[in-house]
């Protein structure tokens, strides 16, 4: 049976197709490759893709997902409770709506530390 297909809305930037069992960040990277993410203030933040570096911090606005363990250096228990997660460590279980959040490591340096597209 084909895996279930969901949509991920990245707030203000576009729509990605995501498949059940797939990391949300993988779906977003693919959408970026297809040119489906528009008006990005910066490149999609992709780091380790495995929950350790904290680059792909997002807020889940709407939708269900399951998640892997994420480094507490980047996602506190409070973050996790309110839906702030690492996109590489969540797996959509419904359509999702996401908003890019500033990585913890970048907050200290200010937004200018982020690379323009």
> Where along the sequence are the contacts to another protein (CB under 8 A)?
43, 46-53, 55, 68-73, 88, 105, 108-109, 115
CB of 87 to another protein, least distance (A): 13
Q: Using alpha carbons only, what angle is made at residue 68 by residues 27 and 39, rounded to the nearest 5 degrees?
A: 30
Residue 111 backbone dihedrals phi, psi, to 5 degrees: -60, -25
Q: Which is nearer to another protein, 15 or 48 (CB)?
A: 48
Residue 33 has, within 13 A of its CA and on its CB side, a CA count of 8
CB of 107 to another protein, least distance (A): 12
9 or 104: whose CB is closer to another protein? Answer: 104
């Amino acid at each position: 049976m084909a895996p279930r297909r969901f949509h991920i809305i990245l707030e203000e930037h576009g729509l990605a197709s995501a498949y059940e069992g797939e990391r949300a960040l993988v779906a977003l990277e693919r959408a970026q490759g297809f040119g489906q993410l528009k008006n990005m203030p910066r490149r999609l933040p992709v780091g380790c893709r495995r929950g350790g570096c904290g680059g792909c911090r997002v807020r889940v606005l709407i939708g269900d997902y399951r998640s892997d363990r994420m480094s507490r250096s980047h996602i506190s228990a409070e973050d996790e409770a309110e839906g702030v997660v690492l996109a590489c460590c969540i797996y959509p279980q419904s359509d999702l709506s996401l908003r890019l959040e500033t990585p913890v490591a970048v907050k200290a340096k200010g937004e200018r530390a982020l690379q323009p597209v």
